[in-house]
Amino acid sequence: MPFHEMFEPDGSIRPCYDEVQKWVERTGIAGLNRRMDEAEAIFRRIGITFAVYGEGGDPERLIPFDLLPRIFTANEWRVLDKGIRQRARALNAFLHDVYHRGEIVKAGIMPADIIYKNSAYLAEMADFTPPGKVYSHIVGIDIVRTGPGSFEVLEDNCRIPSGVSYMLENREIMTRMFPELFNQGIVAPVDDYPAELLKSLKEVAPPACKGDPVVVVLTPGSLNSAYYEHSFLADLMGVELVEPADLFVDEDRVWMKTTLGPKAVDVIYRRIDDEYIDPLVFRPDSLLGVPGIFNVYRNGGVTLASAPGAGIADDKAVYIYVPEMIRFYLGEKPILDNIQTWQCGKPDEMAYVLDNLHELVGKEVHGSGGYGMLIGPKSTKDEVAAYAARIRANPGEFIAQPTLDLSTVPTLGPAAVVGRHADFRPYCLVGKQIRLVPGGLTRVALTEGSLVVNSSQGGGVKDTWVLQD
Amino acid sequence: MLSRTAENLFWMARYMERAEATARLLTMGQRMAILPGAHHRDEWRSVVRATGAGHQFPEGTIVTESDAVSFLMLDADNPSSIRSCLLKARANAKSARTMLTQDMWEALNDGWRKLDSYDVGEARQQLPTLIDWVKTRVMTFRGAAHSGQLRNEGHDFLRAGSALERAQMTLRLLDVKYYVLLPETEVIGGNRDHYQWTSVLHALSGSRAYHHVYGGTYTPWQITDFLMLNRLFPRSVAYCYDQLAYRLNRLAGWHDARAACHDTVQEMVAALEKLDSGEIFRFGLHETVQHGLSMTNRLGAEIAQAYHFG
C-alpha cells in the first residue's frame, strides 16, 4: 500500500488531518459533495479557467477542484523549504556557469554534449550576466512523496512555471466557503505571493533603470491557455499586463504604448517562450515578440524574467545532475533527492531500461504534460515493445524512472474519502533574496490508481496547507 | 494606461450599451406589433432599421418577429446582435482584465454562453425573460463600474464609450420614427402616430420621466425636445454629449494635452445648446439627426486617433 497522507496503515488519522477529519464528519460526504458544486459555480462565475503547466487545450476550461486539502506539517515544510531554496540556488549557479566558464564540464562532472548540443541552450546568452546573476526568477519544483519522510524531486521548471494562480484561488475559495476551517489560524497564509513576486522582480531591475522599476507582465494574449493566470498576477501586483504589440524598442530601451505616449519598461515578467521573444534573434517567421528586445536586454536596458536560455537547467537530461550541482556549486549535501533516472543515451543504462521497461516509467526528454510517457506496469506487451523500438531508434531522447509508490492524498469520492495520487509544485522566487511562501499547487489524479495528474488527462487541483507550529 | 487597454474599455462599454439598446428595441417592436392592424404593416422593419441594419432585409418584404429576434438577438454573423455584442464585450474585458473590478468581470462572465443554446423559437417564446436577462446583465455591469471602479482614466474611457453609443442609439431611434414610422398619408399627431411616438419613449425607458417633465400630453415636438435637448434625461442626446464633453475634458486633464476630439465635442455641445425643438423641426428632424450621427462618428474616430487606439 502506498503511503496515505491522511490515514496511518491501521486506519487511524494522522494528527495533522484531525481538523479535516472533524470537518468531514460534521458536514457529511453528501454535504461536501453539494458544496463542491457551489465551489465549481464560483470558479465558473469568476472565470478561473486554465490549462495548468502549459498543457494547451480549451482556454475556457475549468479544472476539477477537490475540497479536501493536502496538508504538510510544520516540520515537513521546514525540510521542503530548505531543500527547495537549495535547489533554486544551485540551478541558478549552474545557469551562470554554463553561459560563462562551464566549470562543471571542465571538472568532468557533466558531459559537454548534454549542455551545448541541447536545443534549450541558447548560444546568444553566452558571456552575458543578467542583473543579480539571476536566470530563473521563479523556480517551480515538482515534488512527490513516497513515504513518511521521503520527498523526491520529479522535475524542475526554470522557465515560466505556471499554476500559481491556482494556489491562490484554491485558498480563496476554501476560505470563502469554509471560514471556520481557517479561524483557528493554524494554516500558514500564502497570499503574500504577489507582493513577494513584485519585490523579487524589482530587485533585478536593469542598470538603465532609474528610480522605482516599472514592472510588466508579458502575455501572448487572451487566447493563451494561461491567460487567466497572467492577468491575475498582473492585477495582484498592480502592474500592466502587456502583449508583444504593446511594446517596442527605441534607443536602447523598451517602451510600452500608453495613452500618454511611450513609457519605459524596466522588468518584464514574460510568460511567452524564448523563441517568441524577439523575432530578430530567435524566430524570424514569428509575428509574436518584440523586435530588438534581446539586444536591449544584453545592453542592460531591460530585464527579462526569466532569462532566455534558462530552460537548459530544467531539461530532463540535465535533471540527473542536479544533486551533483548542489555539491559542486554550493558545497552542500542535497536535502531533496532526485528520483533514480536511467539515461537511454548511455548504452549500459539503455540495456537495463530495455530489459525492465515493463516495470519502469519511460519519458521523452523534451516531453511535457504527461504526453509521450509509458507507464510500464499499466501497459500491454505491444505498447511496451513499441516504446522500446522508439527508444532504440533515438536513445538520447529518452529516460526512464522506476514506478514509484507515490503517496495518496485524501480526495472526496461520492460516498467516502478516497486516496488518490498527487504531486506538488511550490514556487520559489529568486531576486536578491530567495523567497518562498508556505504552499504551492497540489495536483491530484482523480481516477483511482492513476499516476497521471495532468489536467489534460483528468487531473484536478486542491488547496495545500502548511500547518503552523 | 496602455492604449490597447483604453480601446478595449471604450469598446466594451459601447458593446454593452448596444446590447441593452437592442434589447430595448425588441421590446418596442413587440409593443408595436400588438397594436391593431399591426400584422398588415412592417413594424419590425423600423426596429432593424434603428440598429442601422435595415439594408439586410430587402424592401418589399415584411420583416417578421422571427426575423428580428433571430437577427438582433441570436445571429452570430450579425456583429450588432445582442449575442455578438455580449461576446465582444467579454473579449474586450478579457483583454483589459486588469482594469476591471472583480464584480465588473463577473457581470460579463456570468452565463456568457447563454444565448448560444437558444434557437429562434425558444427565444421568441421567452423573449421578455431574455430581454430582462440582457438588461440585468448590462445594469449589473454598469452598477459594478459605478460603485467599484477606480475613477482613473480607464473609467473615463469606459463612460465616454457608453455615452457615445447611447447618443447614437437615441439619434437613430428619432430618425427611424421620423422616416419609417410615419407613412406619407398619416397626419402628424394622429392616433397611430401617437402610439408610435410613445413606443419610442418606452424603448428608451423614458415614458414615466416624460410625464414628470411635460405632464400627460404627447406631441412630436415635445418628445423630440425631451429626447434631443432635455439635460435631465440620461438617454437624451444633450445629456450624452455633456457626458462626452465631461469625460473627454477629464482625459485632456489626465494627459495634459488636447486633440481634435476635444474641439469637436465642444462644437457638438455648443450647437445643441443653440437649438430648440421648433428650430429642429424647421431645419428638419431628419437633417438634425443625420448631422448628429455624422458628428458622433467623427468624434469616435478622433478619440481613437488622440489616444493611439490600434
The whole-chain average pLDDT of chain A stands at 91
The whole-chain average pLDDT of chain B stands at 89
User: What's the pLDDT at A53?
Assistant: 47
From B223's Cα to the closest Cα of chain A, the distance in A is 39
Cross-chain residue pair B1–A259, CB shorter than 8 Å: yes
B159 vs A376, residue with greater confidence: B159
ipTM of the complex: 0.75
Listed in order, strand segments (DSSP E) in A158-312 are: 215-218, 240-242, 247-250, 253-258, 261-265, 267-270, 303-305
User: What's the pLDDT at A452?
Assistant: 77
Cell of A84: 527547495
From A260's Cα to the closest Cα of chain B, the distance in A is 6
On the CB side of B24, CA atoms within 13 Å amount to: 25
For residues B249 and B254, give the distance between their C-alpha atoms in angstroms, rounded to a whole number.
9
pLDDT tens digit sequence for B126-149: 999 999 999 999 999 999 999 999
From B99's Cα to the closest Cα of chain A, the distance in A is 8
Partners of A169 on chain B (C-beta within 8 Å) are none
How many residue contacts between A and B have a Cβ separation below 8 Å? 56
- Mean pLDDT, rounded, for A368-376: 74
Which element (helix H / strand E) includes A91? helix A74-98
- State how far the alpha carbon of B57 is from the alpha carbons of A232, B38, B41, B48, B49, in Å: 44, 19, 15, 9, 9
Partners of B255 on chain A (C-beta within 8 Å) are 259-260
- Residue type for position B250: R
Listed in order, strand segments (DSSP E) in B172-249 are: none
Partners of B305 on chain A (C-beta within 8 Å) are none
Residues A49 and A62: beta-carbon distance below 8 Å:
yes
Selecting from B94, B97, B307 the residue whose C-beta is nearest the C-beta of A259 gives B307
Instruction: Using CA coordinates, name the residue in chain A closest to B255.
Output: A260
- Residue type for position B27: T
pLDDT confidence of A367, banded at 50, 70, 90? low
From B21's Cα to the closest Cα of chain A, the distance in A is 25
- Residue type for position A279: P
Q: What are phi and psi of B183, to 5 degrees?
A: -70, 155
pLDDT tens digit sequence for B156-207: 999 999 999 999 999 988 887 765 555 445 555 556 667 777 788 888 888 8
Partners of B3 on chain A (C-beta within 8 Å) are 246, 257-259
Nearest to B265 by CA among B288, B242, B290: B242
| Residue written as grid cell 509574436 | A288
Nearest to B309 by CA among A223, A256, A220, A259: A259
A128-147 exposure pattern, b = at least 16 Cβ within 10 A, e = fewer? bebbbebbbbbbbbbbbbbe
Cell of A82: 530548505
pLDDT tens digit sequence for B35-69: 766 666 778 888 888 888 888 888 888 899 999 99
**Got the DSSP string for A342-367?**
EETTSHHHHHHHHHHGGGEEEEETT-
CB atoms within 10 A of CB A370: 19
User: What's the pLDDT at A397?
Assistant: 87
Q: Is B179 helix (H, G, I), strand (E, B) or coil?
A: helix
Q: Is B21 helix (H, G, I), strand (E, B) or coil?
A: helix
pLDDT at A363 over 80: yes
pLDDT at A48 over 90: no
For residues A86 and B44, give the distance between their C-alpha atoms in angstroms, rounded to a whole number.
72
User: What's the pLDDT at A60?
Assistant: 67
Cross-chain residue pair B153–A231, CB shorter than 8 Å: no
Cross-chain residue pair A259–B308, CB shorter than 8 Å: yes
pLDDT tens digit sequence for B205-246: 888 889 888 877 778 888 889 999 999 999 999 999 999 999
B273 touches chain A (CB under 8 A): no
Range list of H helices, A99-149: 103-106, 112-116
Q: What are phi and psi of A267, to 5 degrees?
A: -125, 130
Partners of A227 on chain B (C-beta within 8 Å) are 94
Q: Is A225 helix (H, G, I), strand (E, B) or coil?
A: coil
Cross-chain residue pair B4–A246, CB shorter than 8 Å: yes
DSSP-derived letter for residue A187 is: B
- Mean pLDDT, rounded, for B283-306: 94
pLDDT at B99 over 80: yes
From B299's Cα to the closest Cα of chain A, the distance in A is 17
Partners of A240 on chain B (C-beta within 8 Å) are 2, 5, 98
pLDDT tens digit sequence for A240-278: 999 999 999 999 999 999 998 899 999 999 999 998 899
B58 touches chain A (CB under 8 A): no
User: What's the pLDDT at A57?
Assistant: 56
pLDDT confidence of A92, banded at 50, 70, 90? very high
For residues B109 and A231, give the distance between their C-alpha atoms in angstroms, rounded to a whole number.
15
On the CB side of A160, CA atoms within 13 Å amount to: 24
Strands A247-250 and A253-258: antiparallel
Which element (helix H / strand E) includes A140? strand A138-147
A251-261 exposure pattern, b = at least 16 Cβ within 10 A, e = fewer? eebbbbbbbee
Cell of B77: 454573423
Instruction: Using CA coordinates, name the residue in chain A closest to B91.
Output: A222
- State how far the alpha carbon of B94 is from the alpha carbons of A228, A345, B88, B234, in Å: 9, 46, 10, 28
Partners of A243 on chain B (C-beta within 8 Å) are 4
pLDDT tens digit sequence for A191-236: 999 999 999 999 999 999 999 999 999 999 988 888 889 999 999 9
- Name beta bridge partners: A4: A408
pLDDT at A112 over 90: yes
Q: Which of A23-27, A55-59, B122-126, B196-200 is predicted with the least confidence, judged by mean pLDDT?
A: A55-59
CB atoms within 10 A of CB B203: 27
Residues B10 and B303: beta-carbon distance below 8 Å:
yes
